[in-house]
A and B are shown apart, each in its own frame.
Chain A
């Protein structure tokens, strides 16, 4: 059964997917850094997911009501159709970022040295059955 994108339930499922992924664990074994995933809805509202990633584990994943409450090291943001294309593997995440359909803020040198971990992060997201808002 599909889970609404960037809901608490989706966050929990994504956390499980990451923690059960041997590929992510191996790729991210040296990664230390937290993220916001921000989805811009058609009605102008935003949904924000906080992810705390630490040495191949996802320590925390939850929806944030007030984005100002935390200052994660990285932010990935985009409109729902862009997220949908990436999570359904219709668009490569790097393609999404190059064409600015998704925007990434943070220390780029750190991300560029961890592209495999980033790729596995997205691969884990694709395993969560997801229902996107229209």
Chain B
């Protein structure tokens, strides 16, 4: 038995207008200060006002949102008593909105232990809308939330199917003009989601098509979106790709790139997409070296010169990723991120321990033990191929 789930997705460059049909009394935004400064909050509020909804704004979400921020948002939310919660922004804002909404509904819940085994009984007070303003995390289409425990220097990758947004507004006008660096990082996140969703041990017939389509869109349109932030076609396709990849991995989980990426991000404060995208080629090599995978399928779908076997498919995929990285000035090693060797080697035990505690580790087609992880981190630091 497995379960496929997806929010209602409204997409296109005028998708925000859909909010004018919303029914309710009060909406509560969980977002960050930039979304206010860029006028995005105002744009959404105008649509809500047209629907007769009042709204209030919590705009204090930081990158890699902390448990403290989530608790504060939940307290303010509880005082406002909204019937809609809106996560507006990148993955941080949407993830914080999910967790704050859960605490609003269930103040007794432990935000460090959000899990799919418990019945939370959400939607007694409010429902959730996710509006992404980057094309990356796919959080608008998943039941996952990633929070940071600042004391433990650890990302908590958690979720429950009840956290799946009711509505995802995938409006590409919100991502026009995103800076190239953010475009590259978030775009590599999409590609990593797509490839790991397809090769996860929980990949299934319902998620496979989503994963392949998202990979195709990202590989095709990311260079154009990076080169010209105003390219509406490329932006729109990347925005769709992010949500489609979210639906894919939300129904099949991810893999080792995410376990390692979360770890590196928490210790060295590397943006999520930059971190997971950096590890992806190394993880493909490691997983392919272990035998049967599904990389040849992906390579064929992407029309890469893949031959007929898994090894050739994996090699073609890695080559395509390296080529893409060059086109979008994406770092291919940890060293290239400017992290000093001393600091890296000192942090290596912590990096391995964090990755081992990350639940995405267990969905990778080839299991990595502590020794494998340490060696993989070193390969990724030095930019060396994975040869075992």
Size of interface on A: residues with Cβ below 8 Å to B: 23
Judge whether B369 and A98 touch: CB under 8 Å. no
Within 8 A of B (CB), among A63-118: 92, 94-95, 97-101, 103-104, 107-109, 111-116
Judge whether A99 and B359 touch: CB under 8 Å. no
With A92-B202, A98-B117, A108-B113 known as contacts, the answer to whether A116 contacts B361 (CB < 8 A) is yes
| A119-B156 Cα distance, complex, nearest whole Å | 18
Size of interface on B: residues with Cβ below 8 Å to A: 23
Judge whether B113 and A112 touch: CB under 8 Å. yes
Q: Is B79 an interface residue (CB 8 A)?
A: no
> Nearest residue in B to A85 (C-beta to C-beta)?
B1
Q: Is B24 an interface residue (CB 8 A)?
A: no
| A124-B89 Cα distance, complex, nearest whole Å | 44
Judge whether A23 and B117 touch: CB under 8 Å. no
**Helix, strand, loop or mixed for chain B's interface?**
loop
Judge whether A92 and B117 touch: CB under 8 Å. no
B214 to chain A, nearest CB (A): 22
Judge whether B2 and A95 touch: CB under 8 Å. yes
**Contact partners of B201 in chain A: CB under 8 A:** 92
**Contact partners of A97 in chain B: CB under 8 A:** 116-117
Q: Is B108 an interface residue (CB 8 A)?
A: no
Judge whether B116 and A116 touch: CB under 8 Å. no
Judge whether B202 and A108 touch: CB under 8 Å. no
Judge whether B115 and A108 touch: CB under 8 Å. yes
Judge whether A99 and B1 touch: CB under 8 Å. yes
**Contact partners of A103 in chain B: CB under 8 A:** 117
B54 to chain A, nearest CB (A): 36
**Contact partners of B363 in chain A: CB under 8 A:** 92, 94
Query: What are 9 of the A-B contact pairs (CB < 8 Å)?
Result: A26-B370, A27-B356, A92-B201, A107-B113, A108-B113, A112-B112, A112-B359, A115-B357, A116-B356
Extra inter-chain contacts (15) besides given A98-B117, A116-B361, CB under 8 Å: A94-B359, A94-B362, A108-B113, A108-B118, A109-B110, A109-B112, A109-B113, A111-B115, A112-B158, A112-B359, A115-B357, A115-B362, A116-B356, A116-B362, A119-B362
